Amino acid sequence: MQIFDTHAHFDNDREKTAAAIDRARAAGVTRLMAVGGSPELNSAALLAKSLAPESTRLALGADRDQAGGPSSANELAAEVRTLLAANKCAAVGEIGLDFHYAPETAKAQCELFAQQLSLADELALPAVIHTRDADDATLGVLDEVPWRHDSPRGIIHCFTGSPQFARRLLDRDFFVSISGIVTFRAAGNVRESALYIPDDRLLVETDSPFLAPVPMRGRENEPAFIVHTVEFLAALRKTPAENLAALTFANATSLLG
């Protein structure tokens, strides 16, 4: 069984990251995307890529937590542009909106999000998008910024929304990625959406080091743990785990290489 973890964050620690990648490989995770979103996360993603260049894809960006700080959206987007020019990236990310924790920076988040979506369009790179408690604003920014390519526009990562929101994102040509949250007892809405997403738009991820799936809850998440999410999601969708791993691997490869 080959698995593609489409969203993993790492520490800027060579020994720890190398060990996590080795454990992932032993668990069947033959490809993963190391994802940035801040100067620290971007640096750690670059380290992960350097340790496993053939099996690791790279996404670099400035996420919603960077908005509203001392650097303007223009300055942050310029920094991301420089990073993307200097490194072979599969995607721009993670970027997006989160009004749950920082509603006071909503305007700045939208501006930073829009600028990086424009950059993704310019470079013909998919975007890796976070959205929480910001459904309408996310759709609004997506509709304001053009995507002038025939390829899918990107990934809505760690999806926790309703099937109705998933439909609106699918209509805008996104893949939708399911994390270990789907295994949580109280996550009935995520399971409902996970059943709704069509085979050709489904991805899986850990979002490590966060959101370790059952039965690993309480531990720091890592790519090797995605096996539990794949097995749970396969049972939910009534298909063998090998089949679900294969179709999500093919979907991720088609988008990210």
Residue pLDDT, tens place only, 97-138 = 999 999 999 999 999 999 999 999 999 999 999 999 999 999
pLDDT band, residue 41 (cuts 50/70/90): very high
pLDDT band, residue 34 (cuts 50/70/90): very high
Q: Are strands 174-178 and 154-156 parallel, antiparallel or unpaired?
A: parallel
Q: pLDDT at position 213, please?
A: 98
Cβ atoms within 10 Å of 194's Cβ, excluding its own: 23
**pTM of the predicted model as reported, rounded to 2 decimal places:** 0.97
Q: pLDDT at position 225, please?
A: 98
- At residue 28, what is the residue type? G
* pLDDT tens column, 137-176: 999 999 999 999 999 999 999 999 999 999 999 999 999 9
**What is the average pLDDT value for the chain, to the nearest integer?**
97
Q: Which spans in the chain are helix H? A: 14-26, 39-51, 73-86, 106-123, 135-144, 163-171, 188-196, 226-236, 241-256
CATH class of 3-256: alpha beta
Smallest CA-to-CA distance from 222 within 21, 4, 6, 1 is with 21
**What 8-state DSSP symbol labels residue 198?**
-
